[in-house]
Amino acid sequence: MDATFWHQKWQSSQIGFHLPEINPLLTRYWQQVCQSSRAPVFVPLCGKSVDMSYLASLGHNVIGCELSQLAVEQFFQEQQLPFHMAEMTTGLRCYQAESISLYQGDMFILDSDKTAMCSLFYDRAALIAWPEQMRQRYVRKLMEMVPAGARGLLITLDYPQDSLQGPPFAVSDAWLQQHLCDGFEITQLSCDDVLAANPRFVKRQVPWLTESAYLLVRR
């Protein structure tokens, strides 16, 4: 899966991964993740998620990274947020509003100093966007981007991978424990059956689908 795949998804509005409302797992667990902190939050592969506006409303500065220029510009338009181009870095543009800064471009070339102050992070649709090999690369990059002690909320999906071609890709608890344990302490907060709420999976006769939330703490 290369950049062209995602650009085509946004150009053709094939963005079933985008949720028009705040993710309920974010509202349920964010206080547990961030405790009393109002520190900056890093949101990788942020798309045009309304979750960023919710985090900003709680008093956080939000630092997002998104490949698609169309997604970034739609976010500011739909949220009615005036923005300016704050800076240019190698291969990335920075769109900045009062409390939300979005780096548009390839996350893998984003310098870690841009998120070094982010002691919080939020991943709803980034980890599950990658097939197996690229997912491991993403995990290594996330480890670079957040400092020791950073706390994050991770949301995953799991299902029999051979029953449906991703994205979103299936990420099991066992996979997380194997591939994230060196960099993060992992606490599962919930695991819910969500098959009935996902018509695409029902139509393809996927036998089961679970959605899990995790607290991650960078070692």
Write the pLDDT tens digit of every residue in 132-167.
Answer: 889 999 999 999 999 999 999 999 999 999 999 889
pLDDT at 175: 97
Amino acid at 42: F
Helix (H, G, I), strand (E, B) or coil at 198: coil
Looking at residues 201-211, what average pLDDT do you find?
96
Q: List pLDDT tens digits, range 115-124.
A: 999 999 999 9
Vertex 138, ends 136 and 143: CA angle to 5°?
Answer: 100
CA atoms within a 13 Å half-sphere pointing along the CA-CB vector of 211: 15
Please name the helix (run of DSSP H) or strand (run of DSSP E) that holds residue 190, with its range, or none: strand 184-193
Closest CA to 97 of 48, 70, 62: 62
Q: Tell me the H-state helices in 58-198.
A: 69-78, 132-145, 173-179
Q: List pLDDT tens digits, range 55-73.
A: 999 999 999 999 999 999 9
Closest CA to 152 of 37, 24, 18: 37
13-41 per-residue burial string, b: 16 or more CB within 10 A, e: under 16:
eebeebbeebbebbeebbeebbeeeeebb
The ranges assigned to domains in the chain are 26-32+39-218
pLDDT at 162: 95
Task: State the fold for domain 26-32+39-218.
Answer: Rossmann fold (3.40.50)
What interhelical angle do 3-11 and 69-78 show, nearest 10?
40
Give the span between the Cα atoms of 103 and 96, in whole angstroms. Answer: 9
Beta strands 62-66; 92-96: pairing state: unpaired
Amino acid at 29: Y
pLDDT at 88: 73
